[in-house]
Structure formats: structure tokens, C-alpha cells
Amino acid sequence: MTQATDRLWGARFKSGPSEALAALSRCPERYFRLTPYDLAGSRAHAHELQRAGLLDESETQLMLDALDGIGNDFRNGHLHPTLADEDVHTFIERVLTERLGALGGKLRAGRSRNDQTANDLRLFLRDHARTLTTEVLALQSALVDQAEQHIESICPGFTHLQQAQPIVFAHHLLAHAQSFLRDVQRLVDWDVRCAFSPLGAAAMAGSAIARHPELSAKEMGYTAPCENSIDAVASRDHVAEFLFVASMLGVNISRLAEEFCLWSSRQFQWVVLDDAYATGSSIMPQKKNPDIAELARGKAGRLIGNLTGLLSTLKSLPLSYNRDLSEDKSSVLDTVDTLLLVLPAMAGMVATMKVNVEELRRQAPLGFTLATEVADWLAVRGVPFKEAHEITGALVQLCEKHGIELWEATPAMLAEVDTRLTPQVRDCLTLEAAIAARSGWGGTAPQQVRQQIERLQTALKGQLQWANTYNGFRI
């Protein structure tokens, strides 16, 4: 006589698991947020069982109605897993059996927790790739809106954190926007490789019952089923790649955050943060701290850690499925939640900042940022650039000696450095002239920056369309 068990795996065991095993084996509470995705896979599998003749039409409809009811009750907070529910799959089968009796137990035929858990996470990732894209686009919108206001605002550009050449502030903001554009491009590209359903792989060899995984794949919004049943349940490179894309996004956010820490400082005074997006000190009443930027900068390390942790877990795992792979969800859920906290805060901070245009312009020529204009002026007039570079360096030294700026050098001083430095060189030693000269594609000249904004806005519209036209399962 067989003994019934609520565990999905306990049929051949004479006794239940020890408390220690049960505690270790039970998934963390946060994993149950995958319930809607498991229900989506269960609906697709019910149709597969009907195609295989294990469910008739009326049984299939009863099954689908019950799954919908579980989803509604879970979403509305009327249904919760118990401590006896080892994971989301056990939870759903328990409730399904309670509501349908023996019919509920039929759904397990032809599938395994191995392909279920792989499918749940793929559906979650594809859904949240779109959610994250929407949040990144909100940050992008804030950057572009600010850039449009500062196409003519001249500021110093930096290399090695030393003032280098004048640029317009919009150009600097758009440099960050271009990085975020590529982050979303990576998500779009990643989704192409992730859009394959593992359902039908069962434990690892494929299913003798679910023989049309291409149909269930289509139902869930995938491109096709996975080509190899072993790979379907054993691979997590798509998870690692998602975590890399998220980590790269976190790093790009961190770089922008670092700039805000600098720009809002008393030393820079480039921007003033809105009070709603800054904090104070518990001891120093005058302080206004860029906490959003600092917190975002710190979270980047967390995202990198999640990627590193999963890669370490995957290293040397034999094919096919191993329980080690259950660690994938911890990294993914934490990464997604972290970004969904950081991105709206960063977008708000960027959107509400006030830019000190006068201070930007005051600082723009400091540190002899117009020196390259002298060297270029000489090169255009036939002086080999090696010589032009040396001549300009000598002029800088002379100006430093006299405590003046380049445009203040007298004709006599110019001639003292080199007779080829005629007074006409001073025509190019203005901020406007330096900016206008960089008029090639991708340059900082205002007309180029305007065109860059137009192209960027077109690209962002395409990314938003990608996020909004997803045909897969969404919660």
C-alpha cells in the first residue's frame, strides 16, 4: 500500500526529511514571487496534456480555471504558501489538489521541477528585462531633457579628472545617455538568446508525454523550444548574461552618480540638487548630501557581486541538473530589486537638478583648456603638429609665468615664443570658437549636439516600443 506525500519527490522514501534537510531544502520566501510565472507554465502544460490525451476538454478547462483562481487569490493576498511547501511547484500542486482532488495531481505528468524552475526564471527575466528598460528610459528622458536645456551651456571637459577642453554641458550629459542606450541594447540582444522555452525537457532527457513543446513555447511567447533537453535544464548562461548586463548598467549608473557627487560639491558648484533628492547630516546642520548618488554608487558593487557569485556557482557543474542551480534565483531577484530601487531615484535626481550655467562658463577656460586651439591653428597653417605642440607648450609656460590666460598674451609675447604665432591666433581663443570648431559627427558643437539628441530620441522610442510590445507572459 502506497503512502501519500505532499512532497513532489518522496515516493521512494520510507520516512520524511530531517528538520535540517527540510530547512535547507525549502526555498526562501521571496522565491514564491515566481508563482505567477509557474502558473503560466502550468497553463501551457495543461494544453500539452490535452494534446497528449491525458486530459479531456472538460478536465483541461477545470484545470485552467483552477490555475486562474490560484493566480487571482495569490495576487490579491488571499493565498499563501505554508512552511510545508518546499517551493513554488509544491505550493501550486498542493492547492490545485485541494481544489480539484485527484484531477489536480494529473498536471505533474510529463514534466519535472527541473524544466519548471528553468522556465519560471526565464519568464521572470524576459518580463523584467522590459520593466528595467522602462525605468532606464525614464532616466534617459531626464538626461535628454536636461541636455536640451544646455546645448549652449559651455563647461570644461575633463581627462584624468583634469580640465582638458571646453565642451557644452549637454554633450557631457549625452555621453552618459549613450552608455545607457547600449545597456538597453544589450538587454534586447540578450532577449534574443533567452527566448527559448525549456518546457518539454522534463528532468533532462525530454518528455515521453509532452511531445509538442513548440506549441507550449509559442503560448508563452517564446521563439521556440530549447534545442537540447539537457542544455534546457542545465544551462544558466542566460542568467549570468542577464546579471552581466545588469552589472554593466549598475557600473554606468555608478559613473553618473560619481559625477553628481563631484558636481554638487562646493569645489565644483556645477549643480544644485533638489531638496527632495538630497539628505542632511545628523550633526552638521549646513550639510546637503548627494545620498542618492552615493547609494547608487554603492549598489554597483552589490550587482557585480551577484554576477560573480553565480559564475562561481556554475563553474565545474556537471551536466545535467544539479541543485546548486537553485542559487540562480537569489542573484536575479536581488539584482532586479536593487535596480528597481536605484533607477527611479536617479531619474528623479537628474530631472530636478538645477545647473549653475554661469559657474560652468567661468570654469570652462581655466587650466588653459584652449591650448589645443593654438596647436590646431598652427597645424592648419602648415606647421607640423609635433612643432605646434611644442610651441603651444612654450606659450602655456610663458602665460603661467606672467599669471595670464592665453588670449591675454601680447603680440610681443607671442613673437617671443615663435614668430609664426601672429596676433590672429587670438581669434580662435574664445570658448565659442573652440566649441564651434568641433563640428564633426559626434563633436561638441551645438548643431552636432542637437542632431545627436534627435538620433538618440529616435533610438529611445524604438526601445520603448520593444518594451511595450512583448507578447510573452507579464504580471
CATH number for the domain that contains residue 77: 1.10.275.10
Q: To the nearest whole percent, how much of the chain has pLDDT over 70? A: 97
| Mean pLDDT for all residues in the chain | 95
Are residues 267 and 377 part of one domain?
no
List pLDDT tens digits, range 263-274. 999 999 999 999
Q: What is the pLDDT of residue 339?
A: 98
Domain assignment of residue 228, yes or no = yes
Contact 46, 55 (CB under 8 A): yes
Mean pLDDT of 223-242: 98
Rounded to 5°, angle at Cα 420 from 415 and 425: 85
Strand partners, 125: none
In this structure, is residue 409 part of a structural domain?
yes
Closest-CA residue to 423 (of 438, 406, 437): 406
| Residue 209 domain-assigned (yes or no) | no
| Integer CA distances (angstroms), 389 to 220, 376, 436, in order | 63, 9, 21
Q: Which residues does residue 271 pair with via DSSP β-bridges, in sequence order?
A: 355
Q: Which residues contact 219 (CB under 8 A, 6 or more apart)?
A: 43, 44, 47
Helix or strand run (H / E) with residue 315: none
What pTM was estimated for this model as a whole? Answer: 0.93
| Same domain, yes or no: 243 and 322 | yes
> Same structural domain for residues 406 and 305?
no
* Cell, residue 204: 533532462
For residue 20, what pLDDT is reported? 85
CA distances to 122, 373, 391, 426 from 420, in Å: 67, 15, 9, 13
**Single residue among 429, 444, 460 that ends a domain in this structure:** 429
Q: Are residues 239 and 278 in the same domain?
A: yes
Long-range contacts of 282-285 (CB under 8 A, 24+ apart): none
124 occurs within a structural domain: no
Separation of first and last alpha carbons in the chain: 43
Mean per-residue pLDDT, 116-130: 98
Residue 55 has pLDDT above 50, yes or no: yes
Query: Which band of pLDDT confidence, cut at 50, 70 and 90, is reported for residue 4?
Result: very low
Phi, psi (degrees; rounded to nearest 5) at 456: -65, -45
Domain that holds residue 402: 371-429
pLDDT at 384 over 70: yes
One domain, residues 86 and 143: no
Q: Supply the CATH number for residue 139's domain.
A: 1.20.200.10
331 belongs to a structural domain: yes
Residue 117 domain flag = no
Dump pLDDT digits (tens) for 68-79.
Answer: 999 999 999 999
Count: domains in the chain: 3
| Active site residues per annotation | 160, 281
Alpha-carbon distance of 395 to 409, in angstroms, equals: 9
The helix/strand count (H/E) of the chain reads as 18, 6
pLDDT at 18: 81
Query: What is the rounded average pLDDT of the residues 74-86?
Result: 96
Q: Is the dihedral of CA 361, 362, 363, 364 positive or negative?
A: positive
Give which of 386, 388, 368, 369 is closest to 377, Cα–Cα: 388
Same domain, 289 and 260: yes
